[in-house]
Amino acid sequence: MSYRFMMFRVSGAVRTPDDLSEDTTDFHHPGGELQDALARLYPRTQWHRSDEQRLIFGSLDAEDGWYEFVLYQDPSRSFSINTSPDAETRRLIPEICTSLGLVAFDGQAYVLIGTAEE
């Protein structure tokens, strides 16, 4: 079991999870571009593709646990990050949000990460 974050680029006023909608989220970056950006941030990430499912997976063993990046080749889809359920900090999530201009939705805690409201 993992802890999952849905990642979005927001184009409208998003302060709470209830504000996420088609009108407030915008994602026009193919998975390959996201892979390149994440690979620059975390060069130790191991990448592989599933052409059948049109997905790109990245695995990273970080200081605070493991991270799995799930990227879609379809540029209109958000991507997700799965983390170790035992990780205490998940410190890479805010770092990724800041570096890539994204907002993370933590469905387990029902909060957003990467907004001015944090």
Give domain status of residue 22, yes or no.
yes
CATH of the domain at 64: 3.30.310.250
pLDDT of 99 reads 94
Give domain status of residue 41, yes or no.
yes
Tell me: the pLDDT tens digits for 89-113? 899 999 999 999 999 999 889 999 9
User: Which tokens is 78 given?
Assistant: 């958000």
Q: What is the mean pLDDT of each run of 10 residues along the chain (118 residues)?
A: 86 86 79 92 96 92 93 83 86 94 91 74
Beta strand extents in 1-118 (DSSP E only):
3-8, 46-50, 55-62, 65-72, 79-83, 103-106, 111-113
Give domain status of residue 118, yes or no.
no
How many domains is the chain built from? Answer: 1
pTM confidence score:
0.87
Give domain status of residue 23, yes or no.
yes
For the chain, report the end-to-end CA distance as a whole number of angstroms. Answer: 26
Give domain status of residue 80, yes or no.
yes
Domain hosting residue 16, numbered range? 3-113
Give domain status of residue 27, yes or no.
yes
Beta strand extents in 3-102 (DSSP E only):
3-8, 46-50, 55-62, 65-72, 79-83
pLDDT of 118 reads 47
